[in-house]
Amino acid sequence: MSTRAAIRYAKAILNLAKNDGSDAAVYADMQLMEATIQESKDLKVLLKSPIIKLSDKATALETIFGSKVNNYSLGLIKLLAKNKRLDILEAVASDYQVIYDHLKSIEIAKVTTAVPLTEALEAQVKTKVKELTGHETTLTNEVNPDIIGGFILRVGDLQYDASIAKSLRELEKSFDDSHYEAKI
């Protein structure tokens, strides 16, 4: 959940990182941090817990990310700890990515598929989105077995639904319409 504070921290670290060209490395760090926090229920509980000492939270985060991230990202953890705001680390990481993508004119494309995308297919989708929008793309893949097959692509306000579930709904509707017309 984004907050004003998270946005301010994200902008601040982006401005610092831009000065020496580390903004892309910090972007990768923010992706790693956000994904790690989202995937670990224990880490989320640790960050939100008022019972656990702030120093213990900071030590845990530095142990998890210390050797994997840029000095700016490590500095962010220390600054959030100093300001007693470690609970917003996930939001800061998310906001950083959004601001960076906007700054670099990178489109965010969401592809929903019945099974996870392969790397080759992901590259094809990115190429197609770049052709359509003229911008680089960050791609997220959501797996939803309910679409049966095919895909749903959303880029900004545009959505293209090529799922089998949609085709089946349209076929069912056409049968219903023709059945209704046959009775009249």
pLDDT digit string (tens) for 120-167? 888 888 887 788 777 778 888 888 888 888 888 888 777 888 788 787
Return the CATH number of the domain spanning residue range 4-102.
1.10.520.20
Residue pLDDT, tens place only, 81-114: 999 999 999 999 999 998 998 888 777 788 888 8
Tell me the Ramachandran region of residue 49: left when phi exceeds 0, alpha when psi lies from -120 to 50, beta otherwise.
beta
Residue pLDDT, tens place only, 12-34: 999 999 999 999 999 999 999 99
* Measured distance CA(172)–CA(168) in Å, rounded: 6
Domain extent listing, the chain: 4-102, 106-183
Tell me, yes or no, if the pTM score tops 0.85: no
Residue pLDDT, tens place only, 67-78: 899 999 999 999
Question: Could you give phi then psi for residue 51, rounded to 5 degrees?
Answer: -85, -35
* Measured distance CA(44)–CA(64) in Å, rounded: 13
